[in-house]
């Protein structure tokens, strides 16, 4: 049997993969014509081309895959004619091939609206690697970028422009809102707000009338006569199915485009199939890859005599747009007369969540998630599998906080035929069976089931299924550190404690194997620092410190370092400010006030660090541990000493706290703040532990986080006196240090803690484990051992020697370090 | 793949530093004319390695400040910037197949002295 395929895109490739797997060896002859110069590549991840992936990285399979499978691949050679009578196709390079079955998988092209001026230089579309290469070459000349189209692809193109360095990027949408096809008004508003806060300029209700400029674009003119200047334009106003060849050969096409197909993907000629984005099924073009793959499966099966049917496809999507989660599933817009909607909108966090529930309250029909789509997979499965809802359906959205919902249990409750990976159509049953057969890592599951290999959206669920299945088999799931230590951090912490291990080599000899690596070395170093608080650069342990700890400074672009002296509570005398100024001038450092109420001096050469610190230490400064997984800053507001609302002296308390925990090393960095009243000017509720003054004392909050997943801290105890507050913090921090996984902030740790805040409160406040006294004593021992590590380096010639760029030319600076002027200071040279 | 073979006759051994100048299980950067070479001492296995100091990922002179380790027995170095790891035996990037590899150099220890071999000419 001879099959000819027109087009070598994602769906064409998937069709080959499927039919080869199904057909008996040696029974097929396959010929592919592709218009593009390279074999099929992953268009879904096209944008990664701008974040460093090469065209080769994106290939679905290397060219050798086709030869290995005896497929003849003609690239850069589009088919120009189909002769249905003689069953042949004829190509641009004059090749004629006969076929028994013909597969049209020509995909689609970008729809370019007929606006005058679209042919000017600087106007691009966003579909192929060549399009991206053209954009990449053009971008350095441009400063303002514009995208026409505020849909999925348009926003992705806007991200690409940002990645290309066009910080002034605008999106033009004809409709009154973004992504009109996937999300509702309120969701769009939230999305727009979030994207604008990230620096994107969005114009809705704008109809582009003309593209202005000589032969190069200079501006866009709109129907309302307003004008927007532009150096570069990407048009992303929708897709147009590539049906021209089919139409030419007399196959029926829809009047708005697309090749008409039946449930078996046959066109009006039964020996010709159309699959992927060029196919029109039931009045619908499916512009996503998963339905295309399903079509490939059905067509391949049908050709081999198996009766499968394509009956439409779920268009649920989840994606990250410029770092903002957006998801839409089931019926996102279900009207109010047939269903009830539950909506949560948090304008502070910028999240919008809507779920639509059937009139009888039993079933989930669909919904929209903006800003936080963690619940997507579970909600989608609940919708698809018609799972009966709990009595309070809002728990579906709110359940996560507090630790009483065990992750994984939810996924395990799904029926076996629940589709987990929709791209590769892998069911829950298939994954669990594979786990039971011994494939116990994500990599193994990807290899043997293909789940999670395409868009990656199901990976969190696959992971939960792996651990869920292993638990059900009675297997203990060990969260091991790496190949050198098959223990969890908590286990290793206890072992190192009991055996009083003080060097990495000892730890390795007793509990590990091999020589260690960049994962386990910093973990062991951090555990030892949290237990013993010895000088971290002591012989033997110096080279196991994470790279910033090893040089007691953060490394920067170009290889210089930053210097951050501690300024407890943000309070500093004019005399000390003068010292910082002098040091900055003398060593030519860029100075900046940080977000943590202190001053960072950037651009120091490695060999200058000891001299810089010597001057600072002589003036009474000490290390700020900006480089360590350690206490960073305790921010404070000015408090009752000056502020008319202040209830207590927040600055003095912040300084007391910062000086108590300075240098304390932990699984991740720790931040704190003290506010003098409920107006909260120090932002204490965004910290790992935060304190707010009340009429009667202090409220203590824990588990807050800024960063990419911000989270407010939760109240642990109220109206405490200062000493009690400190003893609770002692207990809290020590308990965290002893039990958290590596590189886990307190917020994530608390989210995962069984029993959540209720349990934590019992341990810390009610001493339910009877360990409070011990935790306090352990903390006191660390506090008593504190020394400024920079002072120790400055005073120790052996340690100072380590701060040289060249071992054989001490003092010589790295000649490759380059700076560029920036305002009245300097900046690191951009990396190449 | 391009395979190059070295002609031992043209190897130039230059003196880098003393054994004790290099921290155990860590690295230092050696100046060789205008070039920078990273030198590593695997004290646990009593072996030495040298590579270019430039990390090919973002062209940073940084590998000597990286962290040494092994992956299934193969010695490697992790760049301090983005933790890409490179084999110390053949220089290929272990954490990212698409990343360029690095040049490696032979190391010879004579008593307390460390010599690094570079091709002459
Ligand atoms: C200097 C500073 C930015 C500034 O110019 O203001 C800064 C700079 C860096 N931050 Fe930050 N962060 C700075 C305040 C913050 C804040 C705001 C705050 O503390 O009030 C946050 C959000 C609050 C929080 O942490 O919860 C913040 C969240 C992060 C994160 C994300 C943490 C997370 O939990 O998601 C990282 C990455 C990490 O730690 O893994 C990070 C990492 C970094 C690193 C260390 C990245 C690196 O490894 O090179 C930056 C290097 C600084 C250097 O070379 O000295 N920085 N960083 C601020 C120093 C504060 C200080 O005085 O110590
Ligand atoms: C930037 C971008 C991001 C995307 N993100 C997502 C996403 O996150 N999730 C998702 O599900 N989908 C996404 N998509 C859509 C997805 O890429 C498509 O659904 C998928 O590629 C369709 O596959 P296809 O094989 O039908 O078409 P294509 O991949 O377009 O392949 C068709 C091929 O046929 C060739 N061809 C056309 N005519 C001829 C001819 N006459 N002779 C020979 N060859 C011909 C074309 O040149 C092309 O190479 C994205 C698309 C883009 C552009
Ligand atoms: S947010 Fe922090 S980590 Fe990111 S660039 Fe700014 S300083 Fe660096
Ligand atoms: S510069 Fe070395 S890993 Fe990025």
Confidence class for position A399, pLDDT limits 50, 70, 90: low
Q: Which residue has the tokens 């989930």?
A: A364
Cα–chain-centroid distance for residue A131?
Answer: 25
Sign of CA dihedral A370, A372, A375, A376: positive
Q: Does the Cβ of B76 fall within 6 Å of ligand 4?
A: no
Q: What is the pLDDT of residues A76-132, one digit of tens each?
A: 999 999 999 999 999 999 999 999 999 999 999 999 999 999 999 999 999 999 999
CB pairs A-B closer than 8 Å: 98
DSSP string, A542-553: GGGS-HHHHTTS
Q: Does the Cβ of A556 fall within 6 Å of ligand 1?
A: yes
Q: Does the Cβ of A33 fall within 6 Å of ligand 2?
A: yes
Which of A539, A548, A807 lies nearest to residue B17, judging by beta carbons?
Answer: A807
How much of chain A, in percent, has pLDDT values that exceed 90?
68
A142: Cβ–Cβ under 8 A, 6 or more apart, which residues? Answer: A122, A166, A231, A232
Q: What is the pLDDT of residues A338-381, one digit of tens each?
A: 788 888 888 888 889 999 988 888 888 999 999 888 888 888 88
CB A289 within 8 Å of CB A455: yes
User: Does the beta-carbon distance from A547 to B16 stay under 8 Å?
Assistant: no
A713: Cβ–Cβ under 8 A, 6 or more apart, which residues? Answer: A684, A685, A686, A687, A688, A689, A690, A701, A702, A703, A704, A747
B84 touches chain A (CB under 8 A): no
CB contacts of A558 in chain B (<8 Å) are 60
Checking if the pLDDT of A449 tops 80, the result is: yes
Measuring CA to CA, which residue among A531, A440, A517 is closest to residue A485?
A: A517
**Core vs surface per residue A453-465: b (16+ CB within 10 A) or e:** bbbebbbbbbbbb
Q: What is the pLDDT of residue A214?
A: 92
User: Does the beta-carbon distance from B60 to A539 stay under 8 Å?
Assistant: no
Across chain A, what does the average pLDDT equal? Answer: 91
Q: Helices in A551-707 by DSSP H: which ranges?
A: 574-586, 609-618, 650-661
Could you tell me the two tokens for A62?
């290397």
B112 touches chain A (CB under 8 A): no
Q: Does the Cβ of B77 fall within 6 Å of ligand 4?
A: no
Checking if the pLDDT of A457 tops 80, the result is: no
> What residues does A806 pair with on adjacent strands?
B29
Checking if the pLDDT of A522 tops 90, the result is: yes
Q: What is the pLDDT of residue A767?
A: 92
**Core vs surface per residue A760-794: b (16+ CB within 10 A) or e:** bbebbbeeeeebbeebbebbeebbeeeebbbbbbb
d(C-alpha B57, C-alpha B96), whole Å: 10
How much of chain A, in percent, has pLDDT values that exceed 70?
98
Q: What is the pLDDT of residue B3?
A: 39
CB atoms within 10 A of CB A382: 26
Q: Which among B23, B47, B66 is the top mutation candidate for probing chain A, defined by the most A β-carbons within 10 Å of its own β-carbon?
A: B23
Q: What is the pLDDT of residue A511?
A: 92
Least confidently predicted of A338-347, A660-669, B25-34: A338-347
* Polymer length in residues for chain B: 121
Least confidently predicted of A250-254, A414-418, A621-625: A414-418
Å between B8 CA and nearest CA of chain A = 25
Per the model's pLDDT, the better-predicted residue between A592 and A48 turns out to be A592
d(C-alpha A799, C-alpha A809), whole Å: 17
Q: What is the pLDDT of residue B121?
A: 52
> What residues does A600 pair with on adjacent strands?
A592
């Amino acid at each position: 049997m001879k099959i000819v395929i027109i087009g070598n895109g994602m769906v064409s490739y998937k069709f080959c993969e499927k039919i080869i797997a199904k057909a008996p060896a040696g029974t097929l002859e396959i010929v592919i014509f592709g218009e593009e110069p390279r074999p099929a590549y992953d268009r879904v991840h096209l944008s990664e081309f701008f974040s460093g992936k090469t065209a080769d990285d994106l290939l679905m399979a290397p060219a050798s895959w086709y030869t290995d499978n005896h497929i003849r691949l003609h690239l850069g050679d589009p088919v120009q004619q189909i002769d249905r009578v003689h069953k042949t196709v004829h190509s641009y390079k004059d090749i004629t091939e006969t076929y028994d079955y013909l597969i049209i998988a020509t995909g689609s092209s970008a729809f370019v609206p007929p606006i005058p001026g679209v042919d000017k230089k600087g106007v691009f579309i966003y579909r192929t690697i060549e399009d991206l290469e053209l954009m990449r070459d053009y971008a350095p000349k441009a400063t303002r970028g514009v995208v026409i189209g505020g849909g999925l692809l348009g926003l992705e193109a806007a991200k690409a422009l940002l990645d290309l360095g066009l910080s002034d990027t605008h999106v033009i949408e004809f409709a009154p809102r973004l992504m009109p096809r996937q999300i509702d008004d309120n969701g769009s508003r939230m999305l727009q707000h979030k994207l604008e806060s990230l620096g994107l300029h969005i114009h809705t209700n704008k109809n582009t009338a003309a593209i202005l400029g000589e032969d190069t674009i200079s501006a866009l003119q709109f129907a309302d006569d307003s004008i927007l200047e532009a150096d570069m334009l990407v048009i992303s106003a929708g897709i147009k199915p590539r049906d021209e060849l089919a139409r030419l050969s007399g196959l029926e096409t829809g009047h708005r485009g697309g090749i008409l197909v039946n449930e078996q993907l046959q066109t009006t000629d039964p020996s010709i199939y159309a699959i992927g984005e060029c196919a029109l099924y039931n009045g619908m073009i499916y512009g996503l890859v998963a339905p295309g793959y399903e079509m490939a499966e059905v067509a391949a099966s049908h050709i081999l005599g198996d009766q499968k049917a394509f009956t439409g496809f779920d268009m649920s999507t989840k994606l990250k747009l410029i770092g903002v989660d957006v998801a839409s599933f089931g019926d996102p817009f279900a009207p109010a007369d047939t269903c009830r909607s539950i909506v949560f909108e948090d304008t502070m966090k910028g999240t919008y969540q809507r779920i639509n529930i059937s009139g009888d309250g039993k079933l989930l029909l669909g919904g929209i998630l903006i800003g936080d789509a963690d619940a997507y997979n579970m909600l989608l499965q609940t919708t698809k599998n018609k799972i009966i809802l709990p009595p309070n359906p809002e728990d579906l959205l709110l359940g996560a906080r507090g630790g009483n919902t065990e992750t994984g249990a939810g996924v395990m409750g799904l029926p076996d035929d629940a589709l987990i990976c929709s791209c590769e159509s892998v069911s829950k049953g298939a994954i669990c069976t594979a786990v039971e057969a011994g494939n116990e890592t994500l990599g193994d599951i990807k290899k043997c089931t293909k789940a999670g290999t395409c868009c990656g959206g199901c990976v969190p669920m696959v992971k939960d299924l792996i651990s869920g299945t292993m638990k059900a088999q009675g297997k203990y799931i060990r969260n091991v550190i790496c190949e050198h230590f098959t223990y969890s951090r908590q286990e290793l912490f206890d072992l190192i404690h009991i055996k009083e291990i003080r060097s990495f080599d000892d730890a390795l000899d007793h509990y590990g194997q091999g020589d260690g690596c960049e994962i386990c070395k910093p973990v062991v170093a951090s555990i030892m620092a949290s237990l013993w608080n010895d000088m971290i650069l002591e012989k033997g342990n110096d080279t196991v410190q994470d790279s910033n700890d090893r040089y007691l400074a953060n490394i920067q672009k170009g290889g210089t370092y930053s210097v951050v002296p501690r300024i407890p509570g943000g309070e500093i005398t004019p005399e000390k400010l003068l010292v910082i100024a002098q040091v900055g001038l003398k060593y030519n450092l860029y100075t900046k006030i940080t977000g943590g109420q202190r001053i960072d001096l950037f651009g120091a050469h490695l060999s200058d660090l000891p001299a810089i610190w010597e001057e600072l230490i002589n003036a009474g400064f000490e290390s700020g541990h900006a480089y360590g997984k350690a206490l960073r800053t305790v921010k404070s507001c000015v408090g009752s000493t000056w502020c008319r609302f202040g209830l207590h002296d927040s600055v003095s308390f912040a300084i007391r706290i910062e000086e108590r925990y300075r240098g304390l090393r932990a699984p991740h960095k720790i931040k704190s703040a003290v506010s003098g009243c409920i107006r909260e000017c120090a932002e204490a509720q965004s910290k790992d532990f935060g304190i707010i003054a009340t009429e009667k004392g202090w409220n203590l909050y824990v588990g807050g986080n800024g960063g990419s997943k911000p989270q407010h801290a939760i109240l642990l105890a109220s109206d405490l006196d200062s000493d009690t507050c400190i003893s609770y913090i002692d207990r809290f921090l020590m308990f965290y240090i002893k039990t958290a996984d590596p590189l886990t902030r307190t917020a994530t740790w608390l989210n995962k803690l069984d029993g959540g805040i209720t349990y934590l409160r019992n341990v810390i406040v009610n001493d339910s484990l009877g360990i409070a006294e011990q935790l306090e004593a352990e903390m006191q021992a660390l506090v008593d051992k504190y020394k400024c590590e920079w002072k120790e380096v400055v005073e120790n010639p052996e340690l100072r020697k380590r701060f040289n760029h060249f071992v054989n030319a001490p003092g010589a600076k790295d000649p490759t370090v380059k700076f560029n002027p920036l305002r009245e200071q300097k900046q690191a040279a951009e990396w190449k | 793949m391009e395979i190059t073979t070295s002609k031992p006759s043209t190897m130039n051994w230059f003196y880098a530093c003393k054994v004790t100048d290099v921290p155990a299980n860590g690295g230092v950067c050696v100046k060789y004319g205008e070039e920078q070479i990273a030198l590593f001492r695997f004290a646990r296995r009593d072996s030495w390695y040298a590579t270019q100091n430039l990390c090919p990922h973002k062209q940073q002179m940084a590998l000597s400040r990286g962290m040494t380790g092994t992956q299934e027995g193969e010695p490697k170095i992790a760049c301090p910037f983005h933790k890409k790891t490179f084999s110390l035996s053949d220089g290929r990037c272990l954490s990212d197949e698409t990343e360029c590899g690095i040049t490696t150099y032979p190391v010879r220890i004579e008593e307390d002295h460390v010599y690094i071999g570079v091709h002459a000419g």
